Amino acid sequence: MAFRRIFIYPSLAALGLLISACASAPSETDRPPLPEPDLEGETAEPDPQVEQEIASPPSPKPEIIVPEDFAFPKSLSLCPRMTISNAPPANAEGEIATYATMAALHGVRLAVAPIEAGCFSSGFGPRNGRPHKGIDLYNPDPVAIYAATDGWIREKVYREDYGNMLVIQHGDTVFARYAHLESFADNIEIGDTVRIGQTIGIMGETGRGQVPRHLHYEVLTGEWGVLTGSFGLTPVDIFAHIPTN
């Protein structure tokens, strides 16, 4: 038996629609580039290269008792000869009038300035037309950065906006971000527990842009999301949670 090949030709109208659809489809070069995060994470988003989900949290620790002679600074001054955004009130000598060693947020007591030594160089709030989501603590020397209270490490990563960055969970809904570290402390990894006052790194100037050595310190609240991580949390002004008596 002989077979004949049968060719089905599309109509001119259908062929025209196909050509039009292909021409209108955007190419990779036509698509707008994704926005880059601003310095210090002012519009930062989760880094897709960073694993956000980790093991279950460790068992709860006993109530935290802070000795009177703990290592956190007993006073904090505005940095001299600096233009300081959102500066809290200070006395004639530059000492911050509302400063206290510890603040309280959702039942968690944590340090207001978790550093060995330094001064206040930028506050929480609008800065250069964008939100500054934490406070900056400056020292020209590579001083120690401490855990603000007991907790466990949720993120440990280098980012272009935050440099060497740690995020520590300090309570069920309380977290803190420690950014621009020169280096991390030895033998601390994601999932490890830390104790109040434990050295977690050294103040540095890592990250994109020319920034002086400082700690960018954010206090965050909310529920940790598997996809959003710390960038799904809400930043708060630690100075607004200092006890008034």
Mean pLDDT of the chain: 81
Architecture of domain 35-241: Distorted Sandwich (2.70)
More confident residue, 24 or 241: 241
Which among 147, 152, 159 has a CA at the least distance from the CA of 197? 147
pLDDT digits (tens, 9 = 90+) for 104-149: 999 999 999 999 999 999 999 999 999 999 999 999 999 999 999 9
Give me the pLDDT at residue 70, please: 66
* Domain map (residue ranges) of the chain: 35-241
Sign of the Cα pseudo-torsion (79, 198, 141, 132, in order): negative
Residue 30, pLDDT above cutoff 90: no
Distance CA 176, CA 216 (A): 10
Confidence band of 5 (pLDDT split at 50, 70, 90): very low
pLDDT digits (tens, 9 = 90+) for 182-241: 999 998 999 999 999 999 999 999 998 767 999 999 999 999 998 889 999 999 999 999
> Which tokens is 115 given?
């550093």
Residue 171, pLDDT above cutoff 80: yes
pLDDT digits (tens, 9 = 90+) for 47-93: 544 444 444 455 444 444 444 446 899 999 999 999 999 999 999 99
More confident residue, 35 or 9: 9
**pTM summary value:** 0.76
Give me the pLDDT at residue 102, please: 96
